[in-house]
Chain A
Amino acid sequence: MSKMKQWFNIQLLIGLIIAAAVIAAVLSVIFKDRYTESGGKLSAQYQYNLEQFQKTDPALILYEETDIRFKTELDPSCAIAVDSQDNIYVAGGRSVRVFSSKGKPLPLNIDLDQEATSLTVDPNGRIFAGAGDRIVIFDSSGNLKSRWESAGPDALITSIAVSPDHVFAANFTKREILQYDMSGRKIQTFGEFFLPSPHFDLAYSSDGQLWASHSGEHRIEAYDLSGNLVSWWGEFSTLAEGFCGCCNPVNFALLPHQSGFVTCEKGITRVKIYDAKGTFVGFAAGAEKFAEHDRLCLAPDYDYRRVALDVAADSKGRVLILDPALAEVRIFQRMENQAAGT
């Protein structure tokens, strides 16, 4: 009995409690989580994850990358174009640079007085550059031919398309297309576009149609030369067939001989091929090819001007991709076996 009493000694009990509390205190200090390595201790449902959509089915990849890959040395690089000899033109910063079809810089170097926003080269070799709110035209030797009037104080010419008699300019600010005659006189404006982000691309096809990207509706639309909507194709889908996200495609180009379209998307950065009717054919380059671009674009202070890929197709059907994040041009060509198959 007295032994029991000793066991329940109050002093001992207090000592034990204190010892336990000291141990708890020490452990709680040692194991306090001050920070976590990733994901803020949140479960997967709180994480935004695009990974599964960034994987490309290898069977759908129709193009392979060539060895030609070169830096534009322009910041920010904004637009790419090719002329009838397959020379490569890149606009960026306040200038336009020209490269051979193999990516070697050519001596031609054009300076602009405003930051370049778009670029196109017509079949006669004339260079049309969008410089913020206006169009500036140079001949094939780089001599200034004409500097047109401003399309509005805050106009943003994000693309230019040239038909034999007209010049079309995409004005992102007003979300409309400006139609000029060759002298620079404005004929009309047309179109009503829903464009959440500043990407608005045009292309003229030799069958007399003007194509425009309508990214908010995930479409590419065809207009006649009077500005009437003729047809359109494209739909939203995060899967390969459609255009993903809020507003895609950001840019597109026509493949030679009216054989189809090549389109660029942002968010899930991918370059895809559609046929002339707008049916999905395959990938020119999947998101895997742009991992470095995506990594840079995810930075919270990243400039929107360096996000959207631009694309052009030369007479051999090569796909030229301008990556403004890395300020480089990459060239993809159709794979032989795939070409044989089709």
Chain B
Amino acid sequence: MGESRKEMNRRSLLQDALRSAGLLGMGGAFGFLIGRAQAQQYCWQIDPYKCIACGNCATYCVLEESAVKCVNTFEMCGYCKLCTAFFDPAPQALNTGAENQLCPTGAIIRTFLEDPYYEYKIDESLCIGCGKCVVGCKAFGNGSLYLQVRHDRCLNCNECAIAVACPSEAFIRTPVENPYRLKGKNHSA
């Protein structure tokens, strides 16, 4: 009995030592990592200068309706009468008829401003983030349309499923204080 108690003591001593070592180690690792991290929180965003608008954003988001939508930097927009992001490459007529529109969901709103300028806004409730207009705008126009993660929708998954599928490594972790990567000089961080 005495023998076994001694063993018990030895065992609990060993356990205590290990536990203290574990605590110390974890505390050290925690302090080291946090000290380096400056308590930075991240969220996901698309670098528009890397995005090729392949369409993965529309299908790979864990949300049924993707958190990625198209945005327009108006300062860069040409306000084209004949917007190649709005119209089919070879439209039958230059009016807002659905058959002339490029967007499969009709998410671009075209408004007459003054001759000859038209404004193009995205109806985010309709946009699915397929990026078709992004390619259309880039092909002929100024590239003012591009895709961005909308943070009112994004769940900020630890590992973004779209980032995994992204063919151009355009998905980046960006600090929450500056959660958008907008085009145009007024928006550059």
Contacts and interface: CB of A to CB of B under 8 A. Distances in A.
| A and B pair up | yes
Interface of A: 34-36, 38-42, 45-48, 50, 53, 194, 196-197, 216-218, 236-239, 244-248, 266-267, 298, 300-301, 304
A246 B167 contact: no
Contact of A300 (B58, B133, B168): B168
Given A194-B116, A300-B50, A300-B168, A50 B78 contact: no
Interface size range on B against A = 35 or more
A245 B116 CA distance: 16
Contacts of A39: 54-55
Contacts of B72: none
B84 to A, nearest CB: 5
Interface string B50-92: 1111111111100000000000000000111111100001100
A122 B136 CA distance: 39
Given A46-B132, A48-B136, A238-B89, A246 B78 contact: yes
A16 to B, nearest CB: 32
Query: What are the nearest 10 A-B pairs in CB distance?
Result: A196-B78, A40-B55, A245-B140, A267-B140, A301-B49, A48-B135, A246-B80, A40-B56, A35-B165, A238-B90
Contacts of A248: 140
A330 B146 CA distance: 33
A238 B101 CA distance: 15
Nearest to A194: B116
Contacts, number: 117
B179 interface: no
A245 B141 contact: yes
Given A40-B55, A196-B141, A267-B140, A247 B80 contact: yes
B48 A42 contact: no
B81 A194 contact: yes
Nearest to B46: A300
Contact of A301 (B50, B53, B60, B94): B50
Q: Provide the main secondary structure of the chain A interface.
A: loop
Contact of B55 (A46, A216, A301): A46
A246 to B, nearest CB: 4
Contacts of A45: 104
A41 B57 CA distance: 10
Given A36-B56, A247-B140, 16 more contacts: A34-B164, A35-B60, A36-B165, A40-B54, A40-B55, A46-B130, A48-B102, A48-B135, A194-B81, A196-B79, A196-B80, A196-B142, A218-B82, A245-B84, A246-B80, A300-B143
Given A238-B90, A298-B138, A301-B49, A246 B83 contact: yes
A246 B168 CA distance: 27
Nearest to B133: A48
B17 interface: no
28 contacts: A34-B164, A34-B165, A35-B56, A35-B167, A40-B165, A41-B56, A42-B58, A46-B55, A46-B104, A47-B132, A48-B102, A48-B139, A194-B81, A196-B78, A196-B79, A216-B78, A238-B89, A245-B139, A246-B78, A246-B80, A246-B81, A246-B140, A247-B140, A248-B140, A267-B139, A267-B140, A300-B48, A301-B50
B139 A38 contact: no
Contact of A50 (B59, B82, B139): B139
A41 B142 CA distance: 27
A300 B51 contact: yes
Most chain B CB within a 10 A radius of its CB, from A38, A218, A238 = A238
Interface in B128-170: 130, 132-133, 135-136, 138-143, 146, 164-168, 170
Contact of B60 (A40, A48, A53, A298): A40
A236 B164 contact: no
A266 to B, nearest CB: 7
B7 to A, nearest CB: 42
Most buried by A among B116, B138, B139, B143: B139
Contacts of B48: 300
Nearest to B117: A194
A47 B138 contact: no
Interface centre among A34, A48, A218, A248 (most CB of B within 10 A): A48
A3 to B, nearest CB: 49
Q: Which of A197, A237, A239 has the most CB of B within 10 A?
A: A197
A118 B8 CA distance: 90
Contacts of A245: 82, 84, 139-141
A197 B167 contact: no
Nearest to B135: A48
Contacts of A41: 55-56, 59
A35 B164 CA distance: 7
Interface string B33-55: 00000000000000011111111
B99 to A, nearest CB: 12
Contacts of A244: 89, 140
